[in-house]
Amino acid sequence: MRSTSSTIRTRRTVKAAATLAAGALALSLTACGGDGKSNGTDGGTGTKESDSSLALPKLNGTTLEVAAVWTGTEQANFKKVLAEFEKRTGAKITFVPAQDPIINFLGSKIAGGSPPDVAMLPQPGAVKQAADKGWAKPLGAEALAQLAKNYSQGWQDIGKVGGKQYGVYYKAANKSLIWYNAKVLANAGASEPKTWKDLLATAQTVSDSGVTPFSVGGADGWTLTDWFENVYLSQAGPEKYDQLAQHKIKWTDPSVKEALTTLAQVWGKKDWIAGGASGALQTEFPASVTQTFTGGDQPKAAMVYEGDFVQVNIADTKAKVGTDAKVFPFPAVGGTAPVVSGGDAAVVLKDSKGAQALATFLASPDAAQIQAKLGGYLSPNKNVDVSVYPNDVQRTIAKALVAAGDDFRFDMSDQAPQAFGGTPGKGEWKDLQDFLKNPSDVAGIQAKLESDAAAAYGN
């Protein structure tokens, strides 16, 4: 979802996808139990126990505002992290619900003279915009020390603009997962697919059993960009992915045509998407998850694509992760299965003692482990003890992320200018919604994507 900074390390090696994919493949989990316990060791991934010696200042009488677009369970869980900061420091924090795109929300707050102290920005491009506009403040020495101690260089670098550190990537995501209703696939006699061809076969088997294969949250355009990115990364490869992310190749490139044509093999089959294209375009992301895991063995759909955070929405149903709700890696379209990461960075907007202390806390294992225990959350902090994650699925995903170190591919639309990759009803979000509506018009959508990208990137 936004503008590519020269400091964003997008030129990762093929090893990036291979490393994370190897960890993700373990998610096929015949032993995918939701209540499995860990002995707290990490098998060499570098996870450790929390740094309980983290020193925070006394901030009695200090009031802070933290803005984020998070809602529902995700917001409630983050508030528990903020409550711990309040307990340790004496500060009082107000959570400010923000609208997407958050950079526009912040602009209006700043223009009105009431910016929040800290904002959680869901893309590197938004961090860059905030820094370029002079809204974001560089992190202080204490926060920098926590980052150096707890984060790989790659995760530090994507929070930098012009060589200065502005962002703490408090939350990460593995966006290369497909979740499924275990009863439906078992009843259909379908197995977890390893390749795109296998996925199409599994979908047909499920459809033949009387259940619609896929639930798609098309009302939220970002879910559609994630579908495209996984297909494109696996099929076109990391170098092309990086070039398209920076608009060094055009959206009219043959590689984009190939990816859209491949994507149409799913999106173009009305009986394969719950509610058809029109229904999907009216389905928001949370509903796309819950309708997959309600209704027993006759839900509205058997499978839903999205990241590890899907677990937050599964928690709103009676389904149990690891038994009722299982997961497999996004299948390989080309030679290597894709692994796309995303994340949310804490950025200081008011350079105060309290705001810098909160950024320091969010960069520590102490903060991350609070939310990790609650599920539906993934931290790039390498010193978070993976045993705190609530189930084996989440522990496996977390280990894979940490094991990747600096080798990962960040969400492409998050690297694009916000006008193209991160605005509801505009740019890539709108274009892919139009493509979901009419998957036969590959050339037309390519032309529209290129026109919108050129306008946003200024080239």
Residues 358 and 322 in one domain: no
> Residue 326's domain spans which residues?
177-338
Q: What does the mean pLDDT of the chain come to? A: 88
Residues 77 and 169 in one domain: yes
Residues 357 and 291 in one domain: no
Provide the 3-class DSSP secondary structure of residue 348: strand
CA dihedral (397, 399, 402, 405) positive or negative? negative
Amino acid letter for position 310: V
Residue 448 lies in a domain: no
| End-of-domain residue from the set 323, 338, 353 | 338
CB 193 within 8 A of CB 318: no
Residues 378 and 324 in one domain: no
Residue 420 lies in a domain: no
Residues 113 and 240 in one domain: no
> How many other C-beta atoms lie within 10 A of the C-beta of residue 250?
16
9 vs 14: CA distance, rounded Å: 14
* Whether pLDDT at 2 is above 60: no
* Whether pLDDT at 345 is above 90: yes
456 vs 393: CA distance, rounded Å: 38
Provide the 3-class DSSP secondary structure of residue 164: strand
**Tens digit of pLDDT for each residue in 123-157?**
888 999 999 999 999 999 999 999 999 999 989 99
Residues 197 and 262 in one domain: yes
Q: Is the pTM of this model over 0.85?
A: no
Residue 9 lies in a domain: no
**Tens digit of pLDDT for each residue in 286-339?**
999 999 999 989 999 999 999 998 988 998 999 999 899 999 999 999 988 888
Residues 163 and 216 in one domain: no
| % of the chain with per-residue pLDDT over 70 | 88
Residues 264 and 328 in one domain: yes
**Tens digit of pLDDT for each residue in 245-275?**
999 999 999 999 999 999 999 999 999 999 9
| End-of-domain residue from the set 390, 410, 430 | 410
CB 436 within 8 A of CB 277: yes
Residues 183 and 323 in one domain: yes
Number of domains composing the chain: 2
125 vs 7: CA distance, rounded Å: 11
78 vs 95: CA distance, rounded Å: 9
Residue 47 lies in a domain: no
Residue 56 lies in a domain: no
* Whether pLDDT at 171 is above 80: yes
Residue 424 lies in a domain: no
Residues 166 and 298 in one domain: no
Residue 452, both tokens: 């919108």
63 vs 300: CA distance, rounded Å: 46
| End-of-domain residue from the set 313, 338, 363 | 338
Residues 6+ apart with CB under 8 A from 214: 203, 266, 272, 273, 274, 301, 302, 303, 304, 305
Residues 354 and 249 in one domain: no
Residue 211 lies in a domain: yes
pLDDT at residue number 16: 37
CA atoms within 13 A on the CB side of 208: 9
Residue 381 lies in a domain: yes
Residues 318 and 200 in one domain: yes
Helix 221-236, helix 427-437: angle, nearest 10: 90
24 vs 196: CA distance, rounded Å: 16
CATH number of 310's domain: 3.40.190.10
